[in-house]
């Protein structure tokens, strides 16, 4: 196996009676990568995270963590994982230092190294000033930081974060996103979320799961390209008749959006924006806007998760 591959999940499945919560999911995680696991609530994200971390046995498939099979060699495999579940496993009656020291012991860190591990985790998660405070008295954002600190205190190769920004305010969300990117410098990170911009702003690769099946798997740059439309938005201060706009070079059709704004569709893969800008300026129509139109991430998500998409993965795991 490639040494840069930290985790490899092959054909994972989890059934509850006749109900398939997860069906035939395969993916990899590499060193230094943030992998976004995106899907609507109930899509199977948390079930997948629980299987990856060894908290739930798969009904089918196998999981390899840093070369160790999770079922055959669970102690070695789990030692390479740090996990923050959707509900952080915090003892709120403890101080931050007491709790993280407890977590260090749970992770079998040598007694002589526990203080250094505690300090390192606090420093990386911005908790140096709150070590003696009760967890119950911390803000939600700081409690999430404590949850991340317990996940990395043993310096695992893989950090799994399940919905780490749910319930946070915008400033706290920005801070946690920044922390996730910093974690990727030393770990492989799996980020499970149903928040669309979270993946776009944080991840290197994205996987979209729907109804327990993987419907998309590719680099985030390719997802951004998928958001591109074959259309331009044109704003004019003094618009002419639509027939004149339709006669612009390379334009296939025109849709009037308002009195001064139009959607121009073009058939060629090459955008005619440059020629149109030159033409509009020459005609003195008062160019106010000329920009490529993009689908929203929500529109792409709906396209991928609507209809019968079973088995239609794309990117690294295209069938």
318 assigned to some structural domain: no
Q: Is a pLDDT exceeding 50 seen at residue 300?
A: yes
Residues 75 and 144 in one domain: yes
Mean pLDDT calculated for residue range 71-94: 93
Residues 158 and 10 in one domain: yes
Q: Which domain holds residue 244?
A: 228-294
Q: 294, 288 in Cβ contact below 8 A?
A: no
pTM (2 decimals)? 0.77
The secondary structure of 213-242 as a DSSP string is EEEEEEEHHHHHHHTEEEEEEEEESS---H
47 assigned to some structural domain: yes
Separation in Å, CA 158 to CA 89, 163, 177, 234, 245: 18, 16, 17, 47, 55
% pLDDT > 90, the chain: 62
CA dist., res. 262 & res. 254, Å (int) = 7
Give the pLDDT band (50/70/90) at residue 307: low
Q: To the nearest whole number, what is the mean pLDDT of the chain?
A: 88
Looking at residue 2, what is its pLDDT?
Answer: 58
65 assigned to some structural domain: yes
Mean pLDDT calculated for residue range 56-79: 94
Residues 140 and 241 in one domain: no
CA dist., res. 126 & res. 175, Å (int) = 10
Residues 96 and 64 in one domain: yes
Looking at residue 319, what is its pLDDT?
Answer: 26
Using alpha carbons only, give the angle 151, 157, 162 rounded to the nearest 5 degrees.
45
Residues 260 and 161 in one domain: no
Residues 146 and 246 in one domain: no
Q: Is a pLDDT exceeding 90 seen at residue 127?
A: yes
Selected residue with higher pLDDT from 18 and 100: 100
Residues 210 and 267 in one domain: no
Selected residue with higher pLDDT from 218 and 102: 102
Looking at residue 317, what is its pLDDT?
Answer: 30
Residues 186 and 249 in one domain: no
Mean pLDDT calculated for residue range 96-111: 96
94 assigned to some structural domain: yes
Selected residue with higher pLDDT from 311 and 302: 302
Question: Any idea what the CATH number is for the domain that residue 233 is in?
Answer: 3.30.70.100
Q: 31, 6 in Cβ contact below 8 A?
A: yes
DSSP, res 257: E
110 assigned to some structural domain: yes
CA dihedral (311, 72, 42, 37) in degrees, to 10, reads: -70
Q: How many CA atoms lie within 13 A of 243 on its CB side?
A: 0
Selected residue with higher pLDDT from 312 and 79: 79
Residues 28 and 56 in one domain: yes
316 assigned to some structural domain: no
Residues 219 and 235 in one domain: no
How many domains, the chain? 2
CA dihedral (182, 143, 149, 157) in degrees, to 10, reads: -70
Strand partners, 162: 192
- Segment 223-233, tens digit of pLDDT: 777 777 789 99
Starting at the edge strand that comes first in sequence, how are the strands of the sheet with 287-294 ordered?
251-258, 261-266, 228-236, 287-294
Residues 102 and 176 in one domain: yes
82 assigned to some structural domain: yes
Length of the chain in terms of residues written? 319
Looking at residue 310, what is its pLDDT?
Answer: 42
Give the pLDDT band (50/70/90) at residue 315: very low
309 CB-contact burial (10 Å; exposed 0-12 / middle 13-18 / buried 19+)? middle
Name the residue among 142, 135, 157 with its Cα closest to residue 82: 157
Residues 235 and 200 in one domain: no
Which residue bears the tokens 């799994």? 160
Which residue bears the tokens 């060629």? 268
Question: Any idea what the CATH number is for the domain that residue 58 is in?
Answer: 3.40.50.300
Selected residue with higher pLDDT from 134 and 199: 134
Selected residue with higher pLDDT from 312 and 174: 174
Mean pLDDT calculated for residue range 226-247: 89
162: left (phi over 0), alpha (psi -120 to 50) or beta: beta
Which residue bears the tokens 């099979």? 69
CA dist., res. 159 & res. 97, Å (int) = 21
163 assigned to some structural domain: yes
Mean pLDDT calculated for residue range 277-306: 85
């Amino acid at each position: 196996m490639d040494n840069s591959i930290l985790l490899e999940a092959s054909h994972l499945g989890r059934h509850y009676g006749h109900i398939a919560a997860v069906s035939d999911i395969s993916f990899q995680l590499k060193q230094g990568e943030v992998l976004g696991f995106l899907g609507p609530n109930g899509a199977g994200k948390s079930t997948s995270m629980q299987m990856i971390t060894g908290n739930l046995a798969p009904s089918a498939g196998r999981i390899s963590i840093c070369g160790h099979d999770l079922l055959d060699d669970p102690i070695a495999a789990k030692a390479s994982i740090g996990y923050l579940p959707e509900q952080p496993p915090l003892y709120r009656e403890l101080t931050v230092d007491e709790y993280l020291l407890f977590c260090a012991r749970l992770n079998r860190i040598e007694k002589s190294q526990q203080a250094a591990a505690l300090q390192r985790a606090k420093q990386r998660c911005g908790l140096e000033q709150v070590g003696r405070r009760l967890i119950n008295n911390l803000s939600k954002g700081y409690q999430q930081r404590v949850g991340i600190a317990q996940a990395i205190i043993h310096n695992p190769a893989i950090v799994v974060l399940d919905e780490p920004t749910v319930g946070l305010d915008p400033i706290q969300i920005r801070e946690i996103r920044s922390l996730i990117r910093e974690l990727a410098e030393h770990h492989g990170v799996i980020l499970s979320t149903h928040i669309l911009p979270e993946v776009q702003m944080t991840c290197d690769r994205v996987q979209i799961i729907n109804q327990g099946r993987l419907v998309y798997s590719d680099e985030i740059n390719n997802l951004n390209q998928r958001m591109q439309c074959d259309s331009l938005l044109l704003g004019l201060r003094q618009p002419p008749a639509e027939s004149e706009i339709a006669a612009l070079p390379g334009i296939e059709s025109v849709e009037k959006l308002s009195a001064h704004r139009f959607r121009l569709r073009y058939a060629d893969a090459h955008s005619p924006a440059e020629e149109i800008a030159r033409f509009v300026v020459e005609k003195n129509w008062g160019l106010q806007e000329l920009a490529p139109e993009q689908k929203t991430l929500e529109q792409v998500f709906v396209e991928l998760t609507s209809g019968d998409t079973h088995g239609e993965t794309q990117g690294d795991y295209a069938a």
